[in-house]
Amino acid sequence: MSENYNAMWTDLGLDLEAHDMLLNVLGQAYQDIYLAQENRPEGMGYFDFVMSEVHGLRIKELMDEKAIGRKIIGSYCVFVPEEIVLAANATLVGLCSGADFATEDVERLLPRNTCALIKSSFGFKVGKVCPYLESADMIVGENTCDGKKKSYETLGGMVDNLYVMDLPQVKSENGKALLKAEYQRFKAAVEDLTGVAVTAGSLKTAIQTVNAKRAALHRLFTLRRADPAPISGLDALLANQVFFYDNPERFTDSVNKICDELEKRIESKQGVFAEKTPRILVSGCPQAVPNWKLPMIVETAGAVIVGEESCVGERGTRNLTDESGETVEEMIDAIVDRYFMVDCAIFTPNPDRLAHIEQMVADYRADGVIHYGLQFCQPYLMESIPVETALEEKQIPCLRIETDYSMEDVGQLKTRVEAFVEQLR
C-alpha cells in the first residue's frame, strides 16, 4: 500500500497480522498473474492502481463518506438494486470473496461441503480481514440458494446489521410481485438507515448513474468480439470485478477510456493474442476477487476468454433499467423489470440462461464453452449437465469444470483445459 493505513484498519477491527498476510498473497498473485501479461492496454494501469489500493485508498474514501454522514451498504448479490441505495444517499459495495481464509474456523460454523464462495465470505468475517465488510452500516444478504439462505442465519449472530432480502425462485407474475414487494421493503429499510427519502429526482439520477456504469461494460463486451482479441479475458474480468466496489462515475470513466484505446487497437489489428487464437466463453458461477485461477489457466494454455456468462460478467450487467419513468412508483417498476431478467441458476425452470449462452457464443464468435462450477454449488452444478448436453447437440464444444478456490487442482485443470484448447484448434 502506498500509504500506511494501519490506524484506519485497527479502527475497523481488522486483525493486522492476518490482513498483512492476505495482502501479501494478493499482491504476489496479482504480480504473477496480471503484471506478467504482455501487451496490456495502457488503460489497465487504472485497474492496477485500484488493486494496489483495494483495501487502502478506496476504504479511506468510504470512511470519509461515513464521516460526513453517508451510509455504506455491503451486498453479496447482483439482485441488490444499487439504484435504490444511491437514491437514498448511500454507497453500495460488493462483499463476495474469492479466496479461502480461516477455513478451519469457518468449518466450525458451516458444513465442510458448503460452497467455496459462502465459506470464503465467512472466512473474511471470522478472520477479520475484510475492511468493506467491517465498514458497512448495513449488510444485505439475499435468499438465492439454500446454502446462502441458511448461512445467513449464522451470519446474523456475527454482525449487528444484517438485512435479508427474499427472492423469487420462479419467473412468474407471483414471482415478480414478490420481487417488487421486497424492493419496496428494501427501499424503506435503506431510507430508515440513511434518514433520506428516495425521491423521483434522486431515483432518476441513480438509475442514470448505474445505467452509465453498465453501458460502459457493454461497450467493453462488444469490443471483445474482435479478432484478434484487443484485451485479455483476465483484464476484462478485472473490470467486471472492480465494478462492484469502485466509485461509479470514476469506474464508468475508466472503462470508457479503455474502450477508446481498444477501438484504436482493433482499427490497427493489434491484439493481445494472435489472430485465430481459440476463443472461449466461460459460463457459470461468479468469479470474485481474487479468484483468477481458471482464466489464468485458460490464457496460459493458448486460448483467450472472450466473454463471461456470469454474475461477475454479462449476466450481472446485461440489461439497463428503463429511464422513462417519472414517479418513484414507475421507476421501482422499471427496476423490478430489469432485475427480474437476471437468469440466475436459482430460477426454475431457467431456459433464458441457456438461450443467453448460445447467443453469447454467436456474438463473441466463441469456439467453445467452459462451464465453471464451484464445488457444492448445487444450482450451477445441476444446470451444468443440461447446458453441456444442449450445447453439444448444436456442435458447440463444452468442457465442464468443478473446482474450488484452492490451488491443489491446478495441474489437473491445466491438463484438461490444454486438451480442450487442442480440440478447438
Domain ranges of the chain: 1-424
Q: How far is CA 35 from the centre of its chain?
A: 21
Q: pTM above the 0.75 mark?
A: yes
Q: What whole-number distance in Å separates Cα of residue 248 and Cα of residue 394?
A: 39
Cell of 282: 466461460
The pLDDT value given to residue 96 = 74
The torsion region of residue 373 among left (phi > 0), alpha (psi -120 to 50) and beta comes to beta
Q: Are strands 138-143 and 368-374 parallel, antiparallel or unpaired?
A: unpaired
The pLDDT value given to residue 3 = 64
The three-point CA angle 314-253-251 to 5° equals 55
The pLDDT value given to residue 1 = 52
The pLDDT value given to residue 2 = 46
- 192 burial level (CB within 10 Å; 0-12, 13-18, 19+): exposed
- Per-residue model confidence as pLDDT tens digits over 271-320: 999 999 999 999 999 999 999 999 999 999 999 999 999 999 999 999 99
Q: Which of 53, 61, 58 is nearest to 26 (CA)?
A: 53
- Per-residue model confidence as pLDDT tens digits over 50-104: 999 999 999 999 999 999 999 999 999 999 999 999 999 999 999 978 999 999 9
Taking 50 as the pLDDT cut, the residues of the chain under it are 2
The pLDDT value given to residue 97 = 87
Q: What whole-number distance in Å separates Cα of residue 120 and Cα of residue 118?
A: 5
The pLDDT value given to residue 11 = 97
The three-point CA angle 350-356-361 to 5° equals 140
Task: Map residue 171 onto helix, strand or coil.
Answer: coil
The pLDDT value given to residue 80 = 98
